Amino acid sequence: MNPKMKLAGTILLLIVLIAGSTLIYQNLKENYNGSVNLVSEKNEDNNINEDNSKNIESEVIQDDQTSQENENATAQESVGSSNETEQAAQEESEYSMYLDFIVLDMDGNEVTLESKIGKPLVINFWASWCPPCKGEMPDFEEVYQEKGEEITFMMVNLTDGGRETVDTAKSFLSDSGYSFPVYFDTQQSAAGAYGISSIPTTIFIDAKGQIIAGSTGAIDKDTLLKGIDMILKENNS
């Protein structure tokens, strides 16, 4: 082959190769840019989906809050109705009235419970041989000193004539220095009227003669004052 023609053929082949490489590069570049754009569009779709999701969640939360508010309102109405019913029932209910009895005072004179009705009344059943009875008496003495003008106290001694006598009870009171009013249930009239089977027992009666509250067992000052508050409240109602 002619050397000139061989050289020309080689140059033409190089030109074809260069042109082909250029076309391939351009195609790869375009495809690469296209895939980046697709990714970017996908991100935008994700953002849109996330915004839609947030909106949906917001609507669900608002719906839940509205539902909860409705439930709370219904519950409040139910509680209010229940409270009104309970209040009406309490207003219609009646307390048991006092049961009268006869006891002896420190001078041996007969005294009836009925004679004490007209002021709020605290009755305490006790005996000198009863440790819990003796344990609560300092609180009774203290409250008597504080409220003896507005509250009537009857400290009723269970004087059975055997284990407890008037003399043993008076000796205990003298040694202790208590000043609250004491009465002796020598005929078990008081104990029988109120079915006393355990001491100490305390009964709270309002000025109208209604038995408002009672407690079996020793009580402290706070409990005693709570009972007194109850009968004072009834007295003012």
Query: Block means of pLDDT (10 residues each) for the chain, length 237 residues?
Result: 56 52 41 30 38 40 50 48 48 78 98 97 98 98 96 98 97 97 98 96 97 96 97 82
**69 shares its domain with 170:** no
**Helix H segments across the chain?**
3-92, 131-147, 166-176, 189-193, 221-236
Question: So what's the pLDDT on residue 58?
Answer: 41
**18 shares its domain with 109:** no
Domain span holding position 131: 102-236
Question: So what's the pLDDT on residue 185?
Answer: 98
Question: So what's the pLDDT on residue 117?
Answer: 97
**89 shares its domain with 110:** no
CB of 206 closer than 8 Å to CB of 122:
no
Question: So what's the pLDDT on residue 107?
Answer: 97
**111 shares its domain with 26:** no
Torsion of CA 82, 87, 93, 98, to 10 degrees: 130
Question: pTM of the predicted model, to two decimals?
Answer: 0.61
Question: So what's the pLDDT on residue 94?
Answer: 74
**24 shares its domain with 124:** no
**109 shares its domain with 145:** yes
Question: So what's the pLDDT on residue 133?
Answer: 98
Q: How far apart are CA 33 and CA 154, in angstroms?
A: 104
Question: So what's the pLDDT on residue 65?
Answer: 53
Task: Tell me the one-letter amino acid at 154.
Answer: M
**225 shares its domain with 165:** yes
